[in-house]
């Protein structure tokens, strides 16, 4: 079964609890349910880490293991050249997701290193953005 990695950066383990007025009350578990729902016939590997190096390691694993990557790098979006470099070493489609509408927020959230590699960028759709991103990976990789 083809595998889609759904990678999540720092603080997203607290999704549903942290700043619900910005990020909503649904959890990362709900994200997994949504993604699995729109990608029958695919395995969804839902992962979260607060550590940049761990996310880099998972992207390296995805080189061998995944047909596509959905990634919400969270705060690392705005700082991490290491994640950009790792994604540049991955050959399949990459869709970047932000739960909040980052362009309506502080200026430091307007720049994304990951967008220099992403094949699509979704912001402000809440966790539905993950479903849209997963659907896009399916349509780009379905035979």
Cβ nearer to ligand DQA, comparing 88 with 101: 101
Does 49 belong to an annotated binding site? Answer: no
Residue 57 marked ligand-binding:
no
Angle ∠(40,26,111) on CA atoms, nearest 5: 90
Q: 15 phi and psi, to 5 degrees?
A: -55, 135
For residue 13, what is the DSSP state? G
Decide if 37 contacts 131 (C-beta within 8 A): yes
- Which residue in the list 5, 98, 113, 130 is annotated as catalytic? 98
Distance separating alpha carbons of residues 34 and 128, to the nearest angstrom:
8
Residue 72 labeled ligand binder: yes
Q: How far is the CB of 40 from ligand DQA (least distance, A)?
A: 26
Binding interface with ligand DQA (CB under 6 A): 11, 72, 74-75, 77, 98-100, 102, 109
Residue placing its CB nearer to ligand DQA in the complex, 13 or 43? 13
Q: Which of 5, 23, 42, 113 is catalytic?
A: 23
Task: Identify whether 23 is a catalytic site residue.
Answer: yes
Within 66-96, where are the H helices? 81-88
Give 137's DSSP letter.
H
- Give CA angle at 80 (94, 4), nearest 5°: 25
Nearer to ligand DQA, 67 or 72 (CB): 72
CB neighbours (10 Å) of residue 107?
A: 7
Confirm whether 111 is a catalytic residue: no
| Closest approach of ligand DQA to the CB of residue 131, in Å | 14
List residues with catalytic annotation: 23, 98
> Which residues define the annotated binding site for substrate?
72, 78, 85, 99-100, 109
> Which residues define the annotated binding site?
72, 78, 85, 99-100, 109
């Amino acid at each position: 079964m083809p595998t889609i990695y759904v990678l999540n950066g720092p603080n997203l383990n607290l999704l549903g609890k942290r700043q619900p007025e910005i990020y909503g009350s649904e959890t990362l578990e709900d994200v997994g349910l949504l993604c699995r729902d729109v990608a029958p016939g695919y395995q969804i590997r839902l992962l979260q880490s607060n550590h940049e190096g761990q996310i880099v390691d998972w992207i390296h694993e995805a080189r061998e293991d995944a047909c596509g990557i959905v990634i919400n790098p969270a705060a690392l979006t705005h700082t991490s050249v290491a994640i950009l470099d790792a994604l540049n070493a991955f050959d399949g489609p990459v869709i970047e997701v932000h739960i909040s509408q980052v362009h309506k927020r502080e200026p430091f959230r307007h720049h994304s290193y990951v967008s220099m590699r992403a094949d699509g960028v979704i912001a402000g759709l809440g966790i539905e953005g993950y479903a849209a991103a997963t659907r896009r990976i399916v349509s780009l990789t379905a035979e």
